Structure 1
Amino acid sequence: MPIYHQLGEMTQKKHVTFRKEDGSLYWEELFGTKGFSGIYSTLYRIHRPPVVTKVREHQITFLEEWQDAPRVPLHFYSHKAEHGGDILTARKYTLFNDECALASASFTDLDDSFYRNGKADEILFVHEGEGELHTEYGVLDIRQWDYLVIPRGVMYRFENLSENNRFFITECYGAVETPNRYRNEFGQLLEDAPFSERDIRRPRFRAPIDSKEECRLWLKAGQRVFDYTMAYHPFDVVGWDGYLYPWAFNIKDFQPIVGQIHLPPPIHQVFQAPGLVVCNFVPRLFDFHKDAVPAPYYHQNVDSDEVLYYVDGDFMSRKGIESGSITLHPGDVPHGPQPGKTEASVGVKDCYEYAVMVDTFRPLRVNGLVQPIMDEDYIRSWLG
């Protein structure tokens, strides 16, 4: 999120001496994701980064494609998958392509290890649970129904996380940003955007940890996993400033845009990344034309696969859906409301629903995990 932020101590100018009380230097580190031409942050550390004493690779398989998956609308229950695990193994991947991977997770075996995704920005939607996200940049309080946006390369771990927690995770192999059409040429959110900078929660300061006890870091580099032993605690940052850091936004702070007649899903967009957009559906007034049909019309976007993660409420165009359900509607298969839903929407003034939608611009592949948790009757639900 391109908002300048500054925490802790630093010098007035960059790349000059910054000394500790004993006269030794703090170590300056630049963190960026597009060489020296993109947004970045500058951190000042007690210890030299990185000091790694041991590295080994672990063989963990995340993605095993269901080769014979039918090219039809799918409905499956993320909450019925085997759940639990540590910061890595709790991630149950369901759908993926060359630009993203989607997973659900319930973290049950967390320890003092740190985690870094070296190849993907992560959007963690907190369906259930509260706690804290600790990073080198400080602490973000985790609230139910938060989006936690973590740029690739940021090291983090959860602390004080609720025992009952549930996440919907979108890993993006490119930068996660706010939508272009909601920003001016300087990156500021426009007056007609459905949220503002005041809704963005940035890290709060946490005192640096000066510890020489060895720490463990799990690095996920694509589909490879490395186990690093670090000589120092990595949260030794005394100060930082810049534009690149983790941040949070709660779905309840999204202000829906409504109109006289039904508006297409992009009006609900909250994020963009290469190859995909993320939208959210929230409680809102329905269309106010006297003959409006609030339910969506049938559509076929051949170049876009549509994924919906259902959070809460009564989704106006679907029945048989549960909290934690996921539907996939392939772009080359027409889809729309199930029988009775269009007629039932006429004359309705508002709705209560929360859902996260991920639209990709290349076909999604189905992970083998989906097969045992899918709704076999979903394809026939349009028969009435």
Structure 2
Amino acid sequence: MQMAPSIPGPHEGFMPGFGNDYETEALPGALPQGMNSPQKCNYGLYGEQLSGTAFTAESVERTWCYRIRPSVKHSHRYEKIDVPAWKSAPCVDPDVTSLGQYRWDPMPHTEEALTWITGMRTMTTAGDVNTQVGMASHVYLVNTTMEDDYFFSADSELLVIPQEGVLRFSTELGIIDLEPKEIAIIPRGLLYRVEVLEGPARGFVCENYGQKFELPGRGPIGANCMANPRDFKAPVAAFEDREVPSTVTVKWCGQFHRTNIDQSPLDVVAWHGNYAPVKYDLRTYCPVGAILFDHPDPSIFTVLTAPSGQPGTANIDFVLFRERWMVAEDTFRPPWYHKNIMSELMGNIYGQYDAKPQGFVPGGMSLHNMMIPHGPDKNAFEGASEAKLEAEKLDNTMSFMIETRFPQHLTDFAGRQAPMQDDYIDCWSDLEKKFDGKPGKK
């Protein structure tokens, strides 16, 4: 049994595992044993279930919460509010062209007070939030703590990828402090508050409308390497018992609504289940690759996948390019030129990406939409073509890719306001014709 005191006070502690059942209590005896819904819970708590799948799903995900007040208690009806920079699919601007190769510099920080909600800037959308397929990609700029203000998304789970600053996610199920080189998954329907521990904070968010993220099947790779379940950490129980006027904002079918409550809703004293927020240290990801010749597909670097229902074709893949050894002989080692049925959005967490030595800087993003050609710039191509192929370690590098089976549509913000590199396509303009009609080496 994992134990944690109530807030305020220490709350450090995480439970290992991903998709496993957890149990944790912040007060001894708060967690019922042998049953989920006793006639009366200890401490006068209310039993409440949070379901992340349908009741009859093949793999049911749910968590039982034992809380001070049921979450249904709020003092006003939900009222619609405007959150103009956070968009949901379908969001197709007829005046913004999404077909092409795009790259952006890091989003600049601002003196404007921005919370987790008001600081979200949607870059692309794909699929349809109303039918629970597809995704959206965002950049967050956060410099202000949510004070007695709470949020949950009924539309999606959020994959959070920090690039600068440290955020605290105070959730119904416990606390996650998140910094660069880590990621967090915040489940659909889970209520939380975001606080700035070190700011200003900037990062990326993949909003997943579809089936939950899970570990990919490893196939012939077997039981080890890539991401291991034990490295995904869930928080221990920690609760607030505060009577204070507060607000709850809900994202539902792409719209935002707010209601008032008279207390902190983070009042879960104990919980057990398999539907919980987790964080993962990207430095624990163990890449695999070719050790003789040839360049594997980037899918070999998949950390998480969200299935689409079509085997082998994901709603979303989250792929990580981190430090690794390059050892393949007689091989073009950087990513090759290609067109892909999947649309690819990339972000740079730190360091230099090997296929784009210039221009793709930490905090920056790029988009290569479905069936749009892309690949190394001239310097990367020439360097890799002429390099003496010895064992070489790629150091000081961590970028990620979000792939989806859907085309990603640029928002007005991405197309007109974000710091787009208008000369990005010029990085391929000086690629030279090398064909001479003569056979090369055998």
TM-score by length of 2: 0.80
Question: Which residue type is aligned with residue 195 of structure 1?
Answer: A
CA distance in 2, matches of 1:176, 1:343: 41
Is the alpha carbon distance of 1:81 and 1:130 closer, same or farther for their aligned partners in structure 2, counting shifts above 3 Å? Answer: closer
CA distance in 2, matches of 1:27, 1:183: 44
State the SS of the aligned residue for 1:126.
Answer: strand
CA distance in 2, matches of 1:266, 1:316: 17
Q: What pairs with 1:163-242 in structure 2 (closer than 5 Å)? A: 163-182=199-218, 191-206=223-238, 208-242=239-273
CA distance in 1, matches of 2:248, 2:203: 21
Give the number of aligned pairs: 374
CA distance in 1, matches of 2:219, 2:225: 8
- Does residue 334 of structure 2 align to residue 295 of structure 1? yes
Q: What pairs with 1:23-172 in structure 2 (closer than 5 Å)? A: 25-37=44-56, 38-54=60-76, 55-61=78-84, 62-63=86-87, 65-70=92-97, 71-80=99-108, 85-98=114-127, 99-112=134-147, 113-172=149-208
Is the alpha carbon distance of 1:141 and 1:361 closer, same or farther for their aligned partners in structure 2, counting shifts above 3 Å? Answer: same
Residue 304 of structure 1 is aligned with which of 330, 338, 342? 342
Q: What pairs with 1:340-355 in structure 2 (closer than 5 Å)? A: 340-345=379-384, 346=387, 347=389, 349-352=392-395, 353-355=397-399
Question: Which residue type is aligned with residue 39 of structure 1?
Answer: E
Query: Quick check: 1:50–1:230 contact (8 Å CA) kept in 2?
Result: no
Query: Quick check: 1:84–1:105 contact (8 Å CA) kept in 2?
Result: no
CA RMSD of aligned residues (A): 2.1
CA distance in 1, matches of 2:222, 2:248: 39
Question: Which residue type is aligned with residue 77 of structure 1?
Answer: D
Note the residue ranges of structure 2 that are not aligned, 5 or more in a row. 1-17, 128-133, 309-314, 431-442
- After TM superposition, give the deviation of residue 160 of structure 1 in Å: 4.7
State the SS of the aligned residue for 2:37.
Answer: coil
Question: Which residue type is aligned with residue 57 of structure 1?
Answer: K
Q: What pairs with 1:372-383 in structure 2 (closer than 5 Å)? A: 372=417, 373-383=419-429
CA distance in 2, matches of 1:295, 1:262: 8
Residues 300-358 of structure 1 deviation map (CA, whole Å, 9 limit, x = unaligned): 11x21111101211211112221111111122222111113123133261212211101
CA distance in 1, matches of 2:228, 2:169: 22
Question: Which residue type is aligned with residue 167 of structure 1?
Answer: G
Is the alpha carbon distance of 1:160 and 1:95 closer, same or farther for their aligned partners in structure 2, counting shifts above 3 Å? Answer: closer
Query: Quick check: 1:287–1:293 contact (8 Å CA) kept in 2?
Result: no
Aligned to 2:285: 254
Question: Which residue type is aligned with residue 118 of structure 1?
Answer: A
Residue 297 of structure 2 is aligned with which of 252, 257, 264? 264
CA distance in 1, matches of 2:421, 2:155: 32
Question: Which residue type is aligned with residue 172 of structure 1?
Answer: N
- Does residue 17 of structure 2 align to residue 17 of structure 1? no
Aligned to 1:322: 361
State the SS of the aligned residue for 1:369.
Answer: helix
State the SS of the aligned residue for 1:315.
Answer: coil
- After TM superposition, give the deviation of residue 240 of structure 1 in Å: 0.5
Question: Which residue type is aligned with residue 247 of structure 1?
Answer: V
Question: Which residue type is aligned with residue 369 of structure 1?
Answer: F
- Does residue 320 of structure 2 align to residue 280 of structure 1? yes
Residues 14-57 of structure 1 deviation map (CA, whole Å, 9 limit, x = unaligned): 22234445xxx421111112221321110111223320101311
- After TM superposition, give the deviation of residue 118 of structure 1 in Å: 1.1
Percent identity (aligned): 19
Note the residue ranges of structure 1 that are not aligned, 5 or more in a row. none
CA distance in 2, matches of 1:240, 1:18: 16
Query: Quick check: 1:58–1:226 contact (8 Å CA) kept in 2?
Result: yes
Is the alpha carbon distance of 1:139 and 1:81 closer, same or farther for their aligned partners in structure 2, counting shifts above 3 Å? Answer: closer
TM-score by length of 1: 0.91
CA distance in 1, matches of 2:162, 2:186: 13
Deviates more, 1:155-164 or 1:234-243: 155-164
CA distance in 2, matches of 1:18, 1:78: 53
Query: Quick check: 2:192–2:266 contact (8 Å CA) kept in 1?
Result: no
CA distance in 2, matches of 1:103, 1:277: 16
Aligned to 2:434: none
- After TM superposition, give the deviation of residue 81 of structure 1 in Å: 7.4
